[in-house]
Structure 1
Amino acid sequence: MERTRAYRFFHNNEEWIAIKPVEPLNLDHIETVSGSKDEFYIDWELADRRKMRVRQRRLFFALINDIVQWSVMPQEYVKDMFYLQYSAYTGKEISLADSSKTSVSDVNVLIDLVIDFMFEWNVPFKEGYKQLPREERYFIYQCCRHRRCLVCGDYADIHHLDTVGMGMNRDHIDHTQKHVMPLCRTHHENYHQLGAEKFAELYHVPVNGIKLDAETLKKLGVKGNYKSQ
């Protein structure tokens, strides 16, 4: 991977990005893959300079231990399995050692892979559940997709947080414009008893939940007007 530095500027009322190599380019490699040393297309990603957080590592290993208890596989084996999956998914190596340069974004991708696995295989969230990122959109999306209560993990319905309106036919509503949250019946009642702000503060969840795309809503059986989607 070629290391570069990007600069953003405006010229003739157009937005441009200039790329400057941080170290000498491997021109032979560039010519091999692009057919030219002078003109070629690049894919790039924004480098995350934030070093991984201690709480991220704590969450990763809490989830790994939940999988170990469920599967009776050795912790080291489970950890290496997700390290390899991360490498296959990103093309990069990862380490959670204190001395590593792993970024916040890198660990988020790794944790998302673990959470995906646990949802797909119905692995019980135990110790890891106490530290789950309930405020993060991706986790809430997965709870919706697998109908898990965002608070306790029990079976959930997809509840609207916006007022739909008295007498309105929900089948005629574009639900992609509505905020939702996956809650079991107990915590749904609790939500209405406490109110949105107190509920969010008590359970460390976002006040507004998330919006879902039409495809996900259809798979969840939420009927609505999706003609324009």
Structure 2
Amino acid sequence: MERARAYRFFHDDEEWIAVKPIEPLNLDHIETVSGSKDEFYIDWELADRRKLRAKQRRLFFALINDIVQWSVMPLEYIKDMFYLQYSEYTGREISLSDNSKTSVSDVNTLIDLVIDFMFEWNVPFKEGYKQLPREEQYFIYQCCRHRKCLVCGDSADIHHLDTVGMGVDRRKVDHTQKHVMPLCRTHHENYHQLGAEKFAELYHVPVNGIKLDAGTLKKLGVKGNYESQ
């Protein structure tokens, strides 16, 4: 992951964005992930350059402690493992010390790596789960991918929040246009008992859930009409 500044300008009545690297590009890293040093595609997001937050540090170490309890490996070993993974992924070092220059976006990337690991290896969320930023789309996406209930972490089904319609063949519906939420049977029933607004308020989850791309829906076995995707 390279750092760059983006500049917006207009030329010949067209809107353009120019990207300028903040520091020398790691060309070996670029070639590894894209296959070329000269021509490559980029994804970009707005970086939150504010200094890391104390609650982010607490969340990271809560998740790390969950992994320690599951693996019986030393905390320092687990922490260093994810620091190294972050370094390999971004090409940069990271520190969560008070005097570091680590940003909110940097720590979010680190936490995403930890969450990915925990879902992939079915690590039980305990203390960390209570602090997870459940309003973030990325976490909901991972819960869908791994069929984990957004509320409790148990095995879940993909629950449609938008009404599909009585008598409509779901196999002919484009589910990429429907909002979904991964919920276990208990919380699925709870959702219908309380209604969307009260359910979201009670469990601190987003009322609208998330929309999934066609590739993810197909992997989850949600049959539909994805010919245009």
Cα 1:13/1:116, change in 2 over 3 Å: same
**Which residue in 1 is equivalent to 2:67?**
67
Mapped partners of 2:121, 2:2: distance in 1: 38
**Which residue in 2 is equivalent to 1:198?**
198
Mapped partners of 1:157, 1:218: distance in 2: 14
Mapped partners of 1:78, 1:59: distance in 2: 15
Mapped partners of 1:19, 1:171: distance in 2: 42
The answer to whether residue 168 in structure 2 is matched with residue 168 in structure 1 is yes
| Alignment size in residue pairs | 217
**Which residue in 1 is equivalent to 2:180?**
180
Cα 1:134/1:17, change in 2 over 3 Å: closer
**Which residue in 2 is equivalent to 1:104?**
104
The answer to whether residue 164 in structure 2 is matched with residue 156 in structure 1 is no
Residue type matched to 1:191 in 2?
Answer: Y
How far did 1:52 drift? 1.1
Mapped partners of 1:76, 1:219: distance in 2: 36
TM-score between the two structures when normalised by the length of structure 1: 0.85
Helix, strand or coil: the match of 1:83?
Answer: helix
Residue type matched to 1:116 in 2?
Answer: D
Mapped partners of 1:173, 1:4: distance in 2: 40
**Which residue in 1 is equivalent to 2:135?**
135
Alignment identity in percent?
84
Cα 1:189/1:17, change in 2 over 3 Å: closer
Mapped partners of 1:176, 1:21: distance in 2: 35
Question: Which structure has the bigger radius of gyration?
Answer: 1
Farther-moved stretch of structure 1 (68-77 vs 4-13): 4-13
Helix, strand or coil: the match of 1:223?
Answer: coil
How far did 1:50 drift? 1.4
**Cα RMSD, aligned residues only:** 2.8
TM-score between the two structures when normalised by the length of structure 2: 0.85
5+ residue gaps, structure 1: 31-39
